Structure 1
Amino acid sequence: MANKQRGYVEVTLDRRRRLKFDLNALSELEGALGKPVTQLNDSTVGMQELRAMVWAGLLHEDPGLTLRDTGEIIELERIEAITEKVTEALLAAFPQGEGKNGKGGPTGTGRKPSASPSGRSA
């Protein structure tokens, strides 16, 4: 469950933990992956990326956590549920409509959906 005001999402790993993707977590994630988080999508997220995302999301509560430690607390039989929690936490980090100029997304580059059937804004 997400605490949207603070961006925390509870996840069960070795114990109940809270994922949070703040600027520090996202910066650490980029460093671990060697690429911007904006380049991640469903087709590019494998086990290494998922492990790094969980690791970065937990650093706020356990700064000494390593990638290897993180791999040991992720149970493969729960990988789908863990992936859903990571996605939820990332979405909580970038609430829709709160980016630059109220357009959503981390940089405010998201587009508002069109209200007209033709796809054009009125």
Structure 2
Amino acid sequence: MANKQRGFVDIDLDKPRRLRYTLNALAEIEDKLGLTVTELGEANLGLKAIRTFLWAGLIHEAPELTEKAVGDWVDFENMAYVQTKIAEAFETATRKND
């Protein structure tokens, strides 16, 4: 089971995996998309951005993953599910401490 206190969110892809947006993952997203984390919330993001977010959230447990490999796990059948899981993990990682 995922530990939301540590920012982990379970996701079923090619196998059960855990999304986590660490500082390194957020920096990778900024580098790939050319936007700061603050700007991401206001941007209109396309399919490449979804793939980048998914990849960045998975590299903590599998640094050898590529964006293209991760993209092969997503199609129109599971895209809404993947987007929901990304949003859940991203919100968990970036919310302010209560």
Length-normalised TM-score, structure 1: 0.73
Taking the aligned partners of 1:90 and 1:50, their CA distance within structure 2 comes to 12
Distance 1:72 1:42, change over 3 A: farther
Residue identity over aligned pairs, in percent, reads 42
Which structure carries more helix by proportion? 2
Secondary structure in structure 1 of the residue aligned to 2:72: helix
CA contact (8 A) 1:11 1:19 kept: yes
Cα deviation for residue 35 of structure 1 reads: 1.6
Cα deviation for residue 43 of structure 1 reads: 5.7
Q: Quick check: 1:24 aligned with 2:19? A: no
Question: In the alignment, residue 58 of structure 2 is paired with which amino acid?
Answer: L
Q: How many residues align?
A: 98
- Could you tell me which residue of structure 2 aligns to residue 54 of structure 1? 54
Q: Quick check: 1:77 aligned with 2:77? A: yes
The runs of 5 or more residues in structure 1 that have no matched partner are: 103-122
> CA RMSD, aligned part only?
1.8
Greater length-normalized contact order (CA 8 Å, ≥ 6 residues apart): 2
- Could you tell me which residue of structure 2 aligns to residue 8 of structure 1? 8
Distance 1:95 1:42, change over 3 A: closer
Runs of 4 or more, structure 1, over 4 Å off, are: none
Cα deviation for residue 42 of structure 1 reads: 6.9
Larger Rg: 1
Taking the aligned partners of 2:35 and 2:77, their CA distance within structure 1 comes to 28
